[in-house]
Amino acid sequence: MPSAEFQKAADTVQALKVKPDNDELLKLYGLFKQATVGDNETAKPGVFDLKGKYKWQAWTDLKGMSSEDAEKEYIALVESLVAKYNA
Nearest to 70 by CA among 37, 24, 34: 34
Q: Going residue by residue through the chain (87 aa), what tens digit of pLDDT does each one get?
A: 679 999 999 999 999 999 999 999 999 999 999 999 999 999 999 999 999 999 999 999 999 999 999 999 999 999 999 999 886
How high is the pLDDT of residue 87?
67
CATH 1.20.80.10 fits 4-85, yes or no: yes
Output the DSSP codes for 23-72.
Answer: HHHHHHHHHHHHHHT-S--SPPPPTT-HHHHHHHHHHHTTTT--HHHHHH
pTM of the prediction? 0.93
